[in-house]
Amino acid sequence: MMKKLSLLFIVFITTFSFAQTEDALVFLEAKDPTVVSAALANPITILTQAALDRKNAQGTAIDDRDVPLNEIQKAAIDAATGITVLAKSKWLNAVYVRGTETNINNLINLSFVTDVEFADQSLNRPTSGKQFTKDKFEVENQFPSRPIYNYGSATNQTEMINVDYLHANDYIGEDIIVAFMDNGYPNVLSNPAYADLRNEGRLLGWYDFVARVESPDGSGSHGAATFSDAAGFLNGQFVGTAPGASYYLYVTEDGNSETPAEEAYWVEALERSDSLGVYVTNTSLGYQAFDNSSFDHDYQDLDGLTTIAARGSNIGFDKGMINVTSAGNQGNGFGKVATPADAPGSFTIGAVDAGENYVSFSSRGPNFAGVIKPDVMAKGLDAAIVSQNGNVTTASGTSFSSPITAGAVASLWSAVPNLKNDVVMQAIRESADRYNNPTDEYGYGVPDFGDALNTLLLLGNEQFLQENNFALYPNPVTTQINISFPKSSENAEFALYNVLGERILQARVSALKNTIDVSGLSSGMYIASITSNNKTTSYKIIKE
């Protein structure tokens, strides 16, 4: 009897301890201004050259969010009683911890800790009851993979969004870096579908943020399947939507549990992606329900601003990336898109079948704040993939409509890499078949990447002209000519001639002194010339 009582006591203590384990974000004080100033003065110390080149090309600012958080403060938190640091975020200036409620709350006593935000929202504010976590890959498992050996198995999903038009014009993602976040990529170093990727040095690296090891294997094979839809290539059998891009592979999903820590791992991976010059990320993951139902996200949490993942995605967008994200497979359950799909900074993708019909498992929008989600749709029922063993098969879920689109985005952006992410995303939305009549199921609909390409090439030409040529406006003019300077010039000589070729006005102009008074001139036609850097350009001017 005594032994039985002792055993019961041990079981009680174990259960009680588990029940008291909590997860939380711990926010740090503002970064040291001296450290921030030094880093921003020499940004190559905190970002790679590829990241600097991408930000410079797009005019994306480098700021204190790019500066790493204080590692001494992180170590002090990790050393605190009963606390384990699982992840960190320089963007949020916070660490993600696990420990008892009491031990986590004690962290606020550290002088550099400014706030604590529990994953169990009832510890922060009142919340309602939740449902137990379901398998997030349930839909994929309901539609088992089957061998397909027909030539061009990816034809339907590629032609549906007109990515073949991009490839025909030699836009295949070249010089665009893409990062995948998933649960694992087993056999990626031997799979024949990635032979060209490996041989050409375009598989740039990998890291497991869960296990903290340099390995692409992770705890599952879901990533091996999603990755193929963008990067896979088997001659005569399968072509991904960005066969010429370069890739990083990150493990952020823990196959052994479902906790908000995975959102924190994901934000870490997003930060590393930004620092390495990544243009496009793919996330075939979503978070709403967890093993501990107290951590679950209610619909009101999915406003695009509240969750850890949403906050990270929005900053990633602000930093210049396009974060392509699956809408989720809860169309027949929870119903709404999960996170980070709810974020305005995520480019959220729903699923259609081969005939472009909405598939019922695809999670619907809008987010709680009313933002239209999903953004666009792609094939997600019986999508062609390459398995981890190199076989061409099919699989279903928004997990696959997302990388099909992510690869298409990379191929599209390779045509106009100097255009900013918001411009590229908007061109894709406007190319979609429901742009003028979006719905909760389809968002803006199925995009046409050929149309998006033509739109962006025109915008790119206009931007090139604006950046490399002078412009005079308004024309016709009444009182004053304004001169827009290209990036390459700061000063110029301006001259104005009448129709007889007589010079009637001459002035030295600059980017700061860029107006010419013509109020005293008679109405009629004139010829203006601007000379800068040993080049003269003429313009016909109408004076009213």
Q: What is the mean pLDDT of each run of 10 residues along the chain (544 residues)?
A: 32 43 92 89 91 87 91 93 93 93 90 91 57 57 48 87 92 96 97 96 97 96 96 93 97 94 96 96 96 95 96 96 97 96 98 97 96 97 96 96 98 93 95 96 97 87 69 88 85 90 91 90 90 85 89
Assign 3-class secondary structure to 323-337.
EEEECCCCCCCCCEC
pLDDT at residue 387 in the model: 95
Q: In the chain, how long is the greatest CA-to-CA distance?
A: 117
Q: Does residue 280 sit in helix, strand or coil?
A: strand
Q: Does residue 304 sit in helix, strand or coil?
A: coil
pLDDT at residue 145 in the model: 53
Structure tokens at 525: 């036609």
Are 420 and 58 spatial neighbours (Cβ–Cβ below 8 Å)? yes
**Neighbour tally for 292: CB within 10 Å:** 21
CA distance 300 to 240: 37
Q: Does residue 141 sit in helix, strand or coil?
A: helix
CA distance 35 to 68: 10
Are 57 and 417 spatial neighbours (Cβ–Cβ below 8 Å)? yes
pLDDT at residue 499 in the model: 79
> What is the full DSSP assignment across 345-364?
TEEEEEEE-TTSPBPTTS-B
**By C-alpha distance, which of 96, 98, 33 is closest to 67?**
33
CA distance 464 to 469: 8
Are 397 and 405 spatial neighbours (Cβ–Cβ below 8 Å)? no
Question: Model pTM?
Answer: 0.76
Domains of the chain: 2-123 (3.30.70.920), 139-431+442-463 (3.40.50.200), 471-543 (2.60.40.10)
In terms of Cβ atoms closer than 10 Å to its own Cβ (0-12, 13-18, 19+), residue 178 is: buried
Query: 3-state DSSP helix/strand/coil percent for the chain, to nearest 5?
Result: 35, 25, 45
In terms of Cβ atoms closer than 10 Å to its own Cβ (0-12, 13-18, 19+), residue 477 is: buried
**Neighbour tally for 102: CB within 10 Å:** 11
Instruction: List, for residues 363-410, the tens digit of each pLDDT value.
Output: 999 999 999 999 999 999 999 999 999 999 999 999 999 999 999 999
In terms of DSSP bridges, do strands 94-100 and 21-28 run parallel, antiparallel, or are they unpaired?
Answer: antiparallel
Place of tokens 């604590």: 116
Place of tokens 């906790």: 259
End-to-end CA distance of the chain: 107
- Where b means 16+ CB within 10 Å and e means fewer, 445-460 reads bbbbbbbbbebbbeeb
* Secondary structure letter of residue 116 according to DSSP: E
CA distance 270 to 313: 8
The residue count for the chain: 544
Q: Does residue 506 sit in helix, strand or coil?
A: strand
Are 303 and 334 spatial neighbours (Cβ–Cβ below 8 Å)? no
CA distance 493 to 536: 9
Structure tokens at 81: 């009683």
pLDDT at residue 500 in the model: 82
**By C-alpha distance, which of 409, 203, 373, 358 is closest to 286?**
373
Ramachandran bin of 170, using left for φ above 0, alpha for ψ from -120 to 50, beta for the remaining angles: left
In terms of Cβ atoms closer than 10 Å to its own Cβ (0-12, 13-18, 19+), residue 237 is: buried
In terms of DSSP bridges, do strands 376-379 and 383-386 run parallel, antiparallel, or are they unpaired?
Answer: unpaired
